[in-house]
Amino acid sequence: MSNSQGDHSKVKKEPPIQGTLISEGKAQVCFPGSEDNVFYNPVQEFNRDLSIAVLRQYSLDQMKKTDKSFVGETFLKPGENGLTVLEALSASGLRSIRYAKEVGGLKNIIANDLSSSAVESITSNSQMNDASHLITPNEGDASILMYQHRYKKKFHCVDIDPYGSPSPFVDAAVQCVTDGGLLMVTATDMAILCGNVPETCYAKYASVSIKTKACHEMALRIILQFLQTSAARYGRYIQPLLSVSVDFYVRIFVIVHTGKNQCKASASKLSMVYQCVGCHNISWQPLMKTEDRKCPKGAGGSPPKTLGKIFSRASGPPTDAKCEFCHSRLNFGGPLYSQPIHDLDFVQSLLTSLDNPELGELKTEKRIRGILSVISEELPNYPLYLSLDATASLLKLSVPSLVMFRSAILNAGYCVSLSHCYPLSIKTDAPMSVIWDLFQGFAKKQYPDKTWPRPLSDKPTPADYILSRPVTIQADFTTHPKGNPSSRMQKLVRFQENPEKNWGPKCRAKAK
């Protein structure tokens, strides 16, 4: 298996069938139609590259579990004990062909599509890429196919990448993945997930979305909530590996496990949210709480043993009828997945795998490395984030330096990180009362001639209420050694850069 990278541009040569030949990674795929009318989005190459990196690492981990004498060279070869993969919505077969040529340890890939012309394209493209021995084209409804594999011949990996919402396919997908199998899901209906139409969000995902500056992380948590709830109906639960919001979509990778006892903890992983319409402060209301059940101390004063979990209703509400800081009304949304959305050990393994020349190159590797680096720095136990620029705008202040404000949080004794979803994000364990104290300290630094705390006006705004609060913690903006995150100092490509003119999602493909 060669490590050389194929030409990622459109190849100027006559395709074996009438159409346009396009190269990506180690695959060459012929799309019907002229070069200007091909349903191929080069922006989505990052999605496919990241999926290949995750599937490689998952395959590698499975090999290490089953073969104690594993050596790296065997990873490049397919085997009878390899993984079975379903790409439920395959279209041209590009993703399946890349899996076959760039991921080792696979036994079979079923490339499914409802369109007969798409299945013909998958067949011809598989033959052209010498991947027919691994790829089985299948014409049929994706959900029906997955339901047929609920009990026997489950898949080690299921990939769902639809145009729009994945919700029609999730119920079948969480059932047809083997215990410990990998489920990969894409959603491109970001307007729904980010709060523009909460009623539609509830209809599709059983969650009410709210408008917040952290809407892209909220979108990830809505999808994870939907996957968790769907799996729990069948005695299963999810373990998030990697959850990425990028470009115009979210891409989520989870392991699906079977365990009825663990399913009982599902409600304690979900929370409702109250968001202030004035200062955008968010309060969390867990659906249930979980505690360890312990036996009394044993003979000789031995420590008590944990006997299991106790599940009980959570107390609430966590807030008054109005915001404690700016006295504005509250919006109500959720449920959202409120547990960590990444497995940081797996993320670190992914980063290490990018340095392995045996696995081959990925064109978007620099961006993958940058985003994974930011994710590896994220605080895992603090959902959603604060938008530094939006919060400063609310208070009618200039935007403080990211390093300066991070340093102030660290100097106050709290933790802070970025989020991969937004460049000026602040994810922290500091309560909002501390954040407002620091902003008031920044306002005093910016306008030293004014009176602080600021006197209330006759008709106070949210900014007036916040900047008139008595300060408990004095802001210290001295640069902290950890004020500048490592990924930022390395100048990695961490966030979206416009890849080309008029980039974004294309119109839905039409049958030809």
- The answer, yes or no, to whether the previous bond of 453 is cis (omega within 30 of 0) is yes
Q: Do 52 and 99 touch, CB atoms closer than 8 A?
A: yes
**Mean pLDDT per segment of 10 residues, for the chain of length 512 residues?**
39 54 91 58 89 95 75 52 93 94 94 93 94 96 97 96 95 98 97 96 97 96 98 97 94 96 93 96 94 67 70 89 95 97 97 86 92 96 95 96 97 96 95 97 93 88 94 95 91 67 55 48
Output the DSSP codes for 309-361: EEEEEPP--SS-SB-TTT--BEEEEEEEE-S-SS-HHHHHHHHHHTT-GGG--
**Cα distances (Å, whole numbers) of residue 313 to 76, 233, 291, 317, 336:** 50, 20, 11, 12, 17
- The pLDDT value recorded for residue 36 is 46
3-class DSSP assignment, residue 276:
strand
Q: Which residue reads 């709830």 in tokens?
A: 229
**Cα distances (Å, whole numbers) of residue 366 to 7, 47, 74, 342, 373:** 17, 13, 27, 20, 11
According to DSSP, the residues that pair with 258 across neighbouring strands are 236
* CA–CA separation, 193 and 209 (whole Å): 6
- The pLDDT value recorded for residue 457 is 84
Q: Do 253 and 183 touch, CB atoms closer than 8 A?
A: yes
In CATH, the number for domain 20-277+337-374 is: 3.40.50.150
Q: Do 227 and 205 touch, CB atoms closer than 8 A?
A: no
pTM of this prediction?
Answer: 0.90
Q: Where are the domains of the chain?
A: 20-277+337-374, 385-489
Q: Do 70 and 142 touch, CB atoms closer than 8 A?
A: no
Query: Can you give the three-state secondary structure of 221-235, one letter per residue?
Result: HHHHHHHHHHHHCCC
Q: Do 51 and 184 touch, CB atoms closer than 8 A?
A: yes
- The answer, yes or no, to whether the previous bond of 335 is cis (omega within 30 of 0) is yes
- The pLDDT value recorded for residue 6 is 40
* CA–CA separation, 391 and 186 (whole Å): 30
According to DSSP, the residues that pair with 330 across neighbouring strands are 276
